[in-house]
Structure 1
Amino acid sequence: MNRKQIPWRLFYSTFKEALPLTLIAFVILTMLVFVQQVGKYSSIILSFQATSQVTMKFLMSLLPGIVIITLPVSLLLGTVIACSRLATDGELTAAQSLGISKLHLALPFIFTGLLGTLVTFYLSAEVAPRSLKELKSLRARILLQEANNVIRPRMFVTTFPNVLLHVQDIDAKTGEWVGVFILQQEPGKGVSRLLTAERGQLRITPSPQMALEAQLYSGLSLENRSVDKSGKPGTGIFEEAGVTDRAVSDFQKLSIKLTEKAAQDEDERGDAPAGMTEMTISEVARSAAKAPDNKDRIKAMVEWHKRIAFPFACLTLTCLTFIMALRGRRFTTRPRTVIAILFIAMGFYLVLVSGQNIALSGKVPPWLGVWLSNILLGLYIVKSFSTNRSLTSLPVISTITALLSEAGDRIADAWRGLVKSLTVKDENTRATSTVRFSIINLINYLIVSEVAKFYLLALLALVVTTVIFTLFDLIPAMARTGTSIAYAASYLAYLSPQLAYHVTPFAFLVAILMGCSVLTRTNQLVIIYGAGQSKYRLLGVISLTALSLSGALWLLSDVMLPHTNREQDIRYSRIKSRQLEQTTIAFGRKWVFGRNNNIYSYQRIEPDNTLINTSMYHLSPSRWVLEKSSFFARASQISENSWQTSGGWTDTIRPDLTINRVPINAGQNNVLITDGAGLFKRTINESSKMSTGELADYIEQLGAIGIPTTELKIDLSKRLAFPFSCLTLALIALPFATGKRAMRSGPLLSVAIGVGLSLIFWLLMTLFEAAGKQSSLSVGLSVWGPQVMFVALGLYLNFKLKN
């Protein structure tokens, strides 16, 4: 064979080996993030108002933005696995013995990185901006059509600007509101309008522009006009002392316009120039040329350079991975190398984000800030190829690798010692024993250690990919609010446990498939079967491991996640410049719904339960229209359910639609509040921020006052059902990892089929949960339905297929 043809034959062979592995990693990562996004937008995707064509467009619009993030990480993982497999078979050792240089060995990976760079550049420059624009347009359209889902009985709605909406109940058959309370303000005009109606509904007006309107039937309107001391229009709130005009009227039918502010993305509203993320690269260049000031020009230039620099992460990370994996004349296959590579990749993206923020501040030129991470790692890569030194020879990297190696060796030695002490028995005892079984023995150690290794690697890869995706989602908000990288990193650190919790079942499935693939490839699984061990031995070990992992997940969700979720929510609200609301806040007041058809708004409650600037609206129990309203500047608690008021008045609406106002004198009027002071201290909590006991108590409290708790009950049931997914997916994975057909066709087909079934399981969980929250399914069926179906399927496959 011609010696010059050897590198090209090696190029083709290595490329053919690396490409399928990269594609498998790409499909797994992309589908995982895609399923997470589907869950995030489940209420939109499952909208009854959206046609199948619109829903498909919405789903397809999600993919380009996801692929831009997952493709570089997939190339990284594909390179690592390919190097590991080629080193195990000794192919690269043979190539080096023929005198083939390191650069020729790296050519297949460089070519793969270039292909990824071209694909990512095209997506980033042309496809992703258009998809994002289409996504926002479809999202706004579906949200307008599905706004009724936001409105729930006995819940205050502040989705619509300058409007507070409360509905007593919703007719399950017609969808009509029963008992409507709407407070509307017109900023700058000093006008506020209180509308109470017996019935109502939400309607969509298609022309001249799609919008929402609330149509009310059989109600009462109380309009208020106010001026301040200087004669200018006041705020229009009903508690103002400067009210100059107050009018009451009844109506049989009334329509008011609503515009949903949630249909506009917050980052889009805050960015300048608006919509730059929706521009193609040529449009961004024209925007930079026509920028009215230097600040807008810098933003446009940073965006333009980012569209080009970001795709080069595919090439940079691929070359970096090859150099990290290559040590002298042999490839390392140890997990510490993969962990070090993933951490360096995370550092690469952090430097990219930091450089972008520095460039936006004007401290460095846009090209330097955006290209900084590529320049730094590019110099190291060129130096490594030219000097035959790898990045692992650098002091920092070698120190990290050494520490990881030492820790791994200590854990392995401790585990081997434990196994030896539990499995070695006296010779006479072994001779007389008829049945020997130990949970910790060499076979179990072999299986569990192999699965655990791949589980940790898969978990780290999935979490890092999601963190990178989240980080780039935060960039516009960080630039707008001036958030530091350190603060964003603290948010991502508190977010990571939640991400690990959600991806653990999927990572465990991938670990089983890859671990059994390695055991099959090295004939260890064949030897185990040849020694008389049944496939049920393997099933039992994996099942016990899955149950242990499920228990750990349950403890994580009950002990750690409530704290970390509260902390990450605080940081996320600060990064996004949002107000962290624990109660419903509107028009500078907190709003609560109490018993006896009373709605309260108050400014604050003192430690001694004294209410400050409080209003009380009493609605008729039959028609749900306003009968009486009271305002008191101060109310001191004198008993458990009684307050003594001062500084206010009470307005009573007479049958002839006139208002009778009675002043409240200090110490002469008492107000009975049946709910007690706890009504004003009640917080609106998310289930993810509470332990199991706290969530159960919260559901009981809300149920006592008639607030729907279906979603919270589903979340409570998921506390046990979701960790159980580890066992469900393990039962699904084993037949494809150990069956005869899997051994004949190779591991890639088994991995693809197993991952495909797991994604179907994930989508079914999302669909069942959404149906349960819409009361189409019972709580138990919506949570446990997919689990029971796939456990039955897994047991059938395990007992039906031959090993």
Structure 2
Amino acid sequence: MKLLARYLLKELVIPLCVWVAFLFLLLFVMQFLRGTDVLLGSAVTLGDLGRLLLYLAPHFLMMALPIAFLLAILLGLGRLAEDRELTALQALGIGPAQLLAGPLAIGAVLAGLMVLITSTVEPWGLTGVKEFVAEIIKKNVVGDVKSGVFYEDLSNLTLYAEKVEGEDRGWTNVLLHDDRERSAPLLMLARQGQVNTNVAGQVLTLVLADGEAHRANRGSENYSVITFQKGEIAVGVEGSMGRRNRFRSPKEELTPSELLQAAEEAERTGGDPRSFLMALHNRLGNALAPLSFALLGTPLAIGRRQGGRAWGYLLTLGGYVLFYLLMRFFEQLGQQGKMPVLLAGQLANILFCTAGLVAMYRVSRSGTVR
């Protein structure tokens, strides 16, 4: 049995590693293409891309591990079925139920790893991504503003500097048009200006000196002019980037203990704690997905007909999509109070485990392969 266990582990672990590497690379490329306006700025270095990869790695692993595991089961055990090796094992008295031990063991290890990741490094990484993007945007503004060229990469802001010079990339004869408040746009003219890169967080600060501000009200004939010696315009980096740096919901940047504290605070102040509790249980449900995938994927792999690999892949991907659609549906019910949050977070796993046990029973009754 030890020899059989090692053989099955080899058949599952190697495809698992290959699929994880492929999906991880695919997710990173897709995210990179979404943020090319930021990540291909003049101030971005290879070290910056390395930091981005480090921050996103936990989140991408949480997305890649379940589907990679499901595909590994299909590829590994499915190959044994197609090569009639499972028929030989059955002749030796080894039934389908005994083959389930290997996938379940790997699924338990992956579930434990995902619980650890989602409780620690994933919130850290998602928080780091937002801070990283804010820092890159600031560096790009410093490096991309050119003399005599309108800079329009900040949403609803247009910046123009007649000259950009010096080590600090200071601006001379600056025009700034702020259209964030549609009903009363702001036009600022200044002799000097620059970006304040010392402000931490999601705020970009433009410092202007020796100028005047013009504000017109489009709903009336009012027009205001103010002169100033020094003025600062704060730009929320997240807002200025639209959705390009909104990688995930803010709740996913909180650790489980922080989600519980937020729920307690919401309940104490008369708010609704269900959204925070649902986020916690939904995260746990996602982390335990490898166990339900092991129970469902094993009978699908060993019980499929020979030559049905393409159909098996389609069925696997369909099952993966169905699982997360169910997770989303039950999450909405939990947030609306139509279902207990604990049940809503785990119901998709319960349904998949039940379907897997039924499929395993049918395979055991009919034999490993047909």
TM-score by length of 2: 0.80
- Give 1:203's match in structure 2, choosing from 176, 195, 204: 195
SS at match of 1:363: coil
Distance 1:94 1:367, change over 3 A: same
Equivalence for 1:284? 259
RMSD: 3.8
- Give 2:86's match in structure 1, choosing from 77, 81, 92: 92
- Give 2:160's match in structure 1, choosing from 142, 156, 167: 167
Equivalence for 1:137? 131
Q: Is the 8 A contact 2:119 2:256 kept in 1?
A: yes
Task: Give, in whole Å, the separation in 2 of the partners of 1:131 and 1:95.
Answer: 45
Q: Is the 8 A contact 1:154 1:169 kept in 2?
A: no
Equivalence for 1:502? none
Equivalence for 2:212? 221
- Deviation digits for residues 674-710 of structure 1, max 9, x if unmatched? xxxxxxxxxxxxxxxxxxxxxxxxxxxxxxxxxxxxx
Equivalence map 1:93-492=2 (5 Å): 93-148=87-142, 153-154=149-150, 156=152, 159=155, 164-167=157-160, 180-183=174-177, 194-196=187-189, 201-204=193-196, 206=198, 211-215=204-208, 221=212, 223=214, 236-237=216-217, 240-242=220-222, 247=225, 255-263=230-238, 275-292=250-267, 296-327=272-303, 333-388=308-363
5+ residue gaps in structure 2?
366-370
C-alpha deviation, 1:69, in angstroms: 0.7
C-alpha deviation, 1:51, in angstroms: 7.0
- Deviation digits for residues 398-452 of structure 1, max 9, x if unmatched? xxxxxxxxxxxxxxxxxxxxxxxxxxxxxxxxxxxxxxxxxxxxxxxxxxxxxxx
Q: Is the 8 A contact 1:159 1:260 kept in 2?
A: no
SS at match of 1:296: coil
Higher relative contact order (CA 8 A, sep 6+): 2
Equivalence map 1:49-60=2 (5 Å): 49=43, 55-60=49-54
Distance 1:150 1:103, change over 3 A: farther
5+ residue gaps in structure 1?
1-6, 225-235, 391-803
C-alpha deviation, 1:89, in angstroms: 3.4
Distance 1:223 1:135, change over 3 A: closer
Identity %: 20
Aligned length: 356
Distance 1:111 1:215, change over 3 A: same
Which residue identity does 1:159 align to in structure 2? S
C-alpha deviation, 1:296, in angstroms: 3.2
C-alpha deviation, 1:76, in angstroms: 1.1
Distance 1:51 1:186, change over 3 A: closer
Which residue identity does 2:188 align to in structure 1? L
Q: Is the 8 A contact 2:70 2:294 kept in 1?
A: yes
Q: Is the 8 A contact 1:170 1:177 kept in 2?
A: yes
Q: Does 1:36 pair with 2:27?
A: no
Q: Is the 8 A contact 2:204 2:236 kept in 1?
A: no
Task: Give, in whole Å, the separation in 2 of the partners of 1:240 and 1:41.
Answer: 40
Q: Is the 8 A contact 1:202 1:215 kept in 2?
A: yes
Equivalence for 2:368? none
Q: Is the 8 A contact 1:21 1:81 kept in 2?
A: yes
- Deviation digits for residues 175-203 of structure 1, max 9, x if unmatched? 6667643345998xx99753335x65432
SS at match of 2:135: helix
- Deviation digits for residues 574-613 of structure 1, max 9, x if unmatched? xxxxxxxxxxxxxxxxxxxxxxxxxxxxxxxxxxxxxxxx
State the structure with more CA Rg: 1
C-alpha deviation, 1:266, in angstroms: 7.4
C-alpha deviation, 1:216, in angstroms: 5.7
Which residue identity does 2:52 align to in structure 1? F
Task: Give, in whole Å, the separation in 1 of the partners of 2:2 and 2:250.
Answer: 47
Distance 1:372 1:194, change over 3 A: same
Task: Give, in whole Å, the separation in 2 of the partners of 1:11 and 1:207.
Answer: 56
Task: Give, in whole Å, the separation in 2 of the partners of 1:125 and 1:256.
Answer: 43
Q: Is the 8 A contact 1:26 1:71 kept in 2?
A: yes
Task: Give, in whole Å, the separation in 2 of the partners of 1:76 and 1:354.
Answer: 22
Q: Is the 8 A contact 1:159 1:261 kept in 2?
A: no
Which has the higher mean CA deviation after the structures are superposed, 354-363 or 315-324?
315-324
TM-score by length of 1: 0.40
Task: Give, in whole Å, the separation in 1 of the partners of 2:14 and 2:42.
Answer: 39
SS at match of 1:32: helix
- Deviation digits for residues 604-637 of structure 1, max 9, x if unmatched? xxxxxxxxxxxxxxxxxxxxxxxxxxxxxxxxxx
SS at match of 2:97: helix
Equivalence for 1:25? 19
Distance 1:106 1:299, change over 3 A: same
